[in-house]
Structure 1
Amino acid sequence: MTNAQNNYVLGLAATSLFTEPLALEHLSKSNADFGTYNVPFDQVSKLLDNKQDRDIALKEFLTMLLRAIIKESFELIKDYSDETNQSALLKGQPWFQFARVIRNCISHNFQFEFTPYDKGLLPVAWKGKTITLALDGQPLPLSLFGYVEAWELFSEFKAFAGVRLK
């Protein structure tokens, strides 16, 4: 859970840095070396130097962060709960079904694809946000679940894992 949180915060910090002129200058001269590969960052500098391209790139980067923090932390809690015979406790959380449907949506290119099981549970709600059958086949609206909700749901995951799980 701590790694998922750190990765999200590091990504947010990187987003902040990506708008700084000194960072763009540094990126234009930097690269990553691994194995026999050398990946120059000048393409990143050029991409971020154009406002329209930067806005698109940063939105996609933040979307990746959202996917990582929710998907990874949900799976960690689910796997641990399964391994320690605490699945019933997890499934009894008021956010569980909402989080499960969001995790599935995020895993399917941010598009809702309800299974027959999901359809039988809908609507599901959490913190005033409701997922209904009308969203089937639709993209996830950021007004329903965006960066704020991702952080709040992760915080619920973390609190549950730290306090309720043995």
Structure 2
Amino acid sequence: MGLIALPVFNSPNGLQVIEKATIDLETGRMQGGPIAALLRDPSLGDDLKNEFFKAQMRLALKEAFEVCKTYCKNTQQFQNMRGTSWYHFARIVRDAVTHDFHIDTENKESRLLPLTWRYWTITPEMTGKQVSAGLKGFISHRLVDETMAAYTRFIQTEAL
């Protein structure tokens, strides 16, 4: 749901959509008005959007990788996963999103750099630096879409 909400934040009428939204929870109804008011506040809005975006990226990139890895370990296919074109790239990205979006390849993967997968390259110069996260950042919707598709294809076609 969070990934679906991200484009709403950046659409021209996104705040009106959020303002009118309600969510029924077991503990009561949540109104979108207070959230829209916070997002309208110029001193808070962009920071809130960025933090929400980062939280969704962390959730999607870390947890999807871990689910795929756990499945492969439980079915004795982890070596197959490690042999994919995306494994090392996805592992570095997973580590980055769990460590405040900093690339850390000083251990196992440093010998693999530069490492390119699809449209992205992780270079030695990126080690220890924070990567951008956002609609046009290094860590983006497209990166999530591509990695999720890679995991899905692997599970459906290569993992037995």
- Could you tell me how far apart the structure 2 residues matched to 1:38 and 1:46 are? 17
Q: 2:142 aligns with which of 145, 148, 151?
A: 148
CA spacing shift, 1:9–1:145, aligned 2, 3 Å: closer
8 Å CA contact retained: 1:105, 1:113: yes
Q: Which residue of 1 aligns with 2:124?
A: 133
Q: 1:19 aligns with which of 5, 14, 20?
A: 14
1:111, 1:138 within 8 Å by CA — same for their partners in 2? yes
Q: Does 1:82 align with 2:73?
A: yes
TM-score (norm 1): 0.76
What is the Cα deviation at residue 47 of structure 1?
0.5
Q: Is the contact between residue 15 and residue 58 of structure 1 (CA under 8 Å) also seen in structure 2? A: yes
Pairwise CA distance, 1:120: 2.3
CA distance in 2, matches of 1:96, 1:165: 14
Which residue, out of 143, 146, 155, partners 1:161? 155
Please identify, of 44-53 and 75-84, the stretch whose mean Cα deviation from structure 2 is larger.
44-53
Query: What TM-score, normalized by structure 2, do the two folds share?
Result: 0.79
Output the CA distance in 1 between the equivalents of 2:49 and 2:74. Answer: 37
1:116 to 85, 104, 107: 107
How many residue pairs are counted as aligned between the two chains?
Answer: 156
User: What are the residue-to-residue correspondences of 1:89-100 with 2, within 5 Å?
Assistant: 89-100=80-91
Distance (whole Å) between structure 2 residues aligned to residue 130 and residue 13 of structure 1: 25
> Are the counterparts in 2 of residues 122 and 133 from structure 1 also a CA contact under 8 Å?
yes
- Residue 39 of structure 2 corresponds to residue 48 of structure 1: yes
Query: Superposition RMSD on alpha carbons, in Å?
Result: 2.9
